[in-house]
Amino acid sequence: MKVPRLLTLMLSLSLFGTTGVYASSMWGEFEGYVKAKVLINNAERPFKDGETPAFLIKGSTVLPVRALSESLQALVKWDDASKTVSIYKPNVHMFVAKKVNDDYSINQPFGGVKKGDRLDFAVFAQVDSLTIPIHSFKISIISPSGEEVAVHEKVVGGQRESFWYPWPFNVSFNEAGKYVVKFSIKDSETGSYTVVSEKLIVSGE
């Protein structure tokens, strides 16, 4: 989902004990306001040229909604007619297991593998509190180097507030490090996928 370029949606977050002078000396200014640095799980969220960064105004931090939604792994929709931004956060829980039975019972769940192993396994997703219709969802597995090594997409085409979904994968874990299993949702056929849940599989020596 894309937010119109001419619209910068903001959410004001309370900031306690921060002084503009200190922040200004560290990160500079934006349109005359003191810029703030954003860390998500101890990793900096960079802002590209042309993007509105986080900044301070009247003792509070103003943060673009898009950046906030990405950190929350939530869906964002903008209604231009009512000038309203809506954020939707479905509950998505994932398991990885070497076997998922027909009755959805799980055998041999795992979170770590040996580097070089090739495994048949299933990703099991449980979704609820999905309060808006969606077009499709995608389960993808990303290697430590950022390559998409496996992907599965399914068109839903309507309202499904809750569902369970297992899907088999066969993956070679050729790299050491963290493989990321991502569950993404697309609200319309022409929209883009938004990641709403992640699970790690650690590949070691």
Place of tokens 């449980």: 126
pTM of the model: 0.76
Q: What is the model's pLDDT at position 92?
A: 95
C-alpha distances out from residue 167 to 100, 132, 163, Å: 9, 23, 13
Rounded average pLDDT over 102-115: 85
Host H or E run for residue 111: none
148 versus 191: the higher-pLDDT residue is 148
Segment 52-103, tens digit of pLDDT: 888 888 888 888 887 777 778 888 888 889 988 888 899 999 999 987 777 7
Segment 48-61, tens digit of pLDDT: 888 888 888 888 88
Kindly report the average pLDDT of the chain as a whole number.
Answer: 84
CATH of 91-204, one of 2.40.30.270, 2.30.30.90, 2.60.40.640, 3.90.1150.10: 2.60.40.640
Domain regions of the chain by residue span:
10-88, 91-204
Q: Strands, E, within 54-131: which ranges?
A: 55-57, 60-64, 75-79, 84-88, 91-100, 106-109, 112-114, 118-128
Segment 125-160, tens digit of pLDDT: 999 999 999 999 999 999 999 999 999 999 998 788
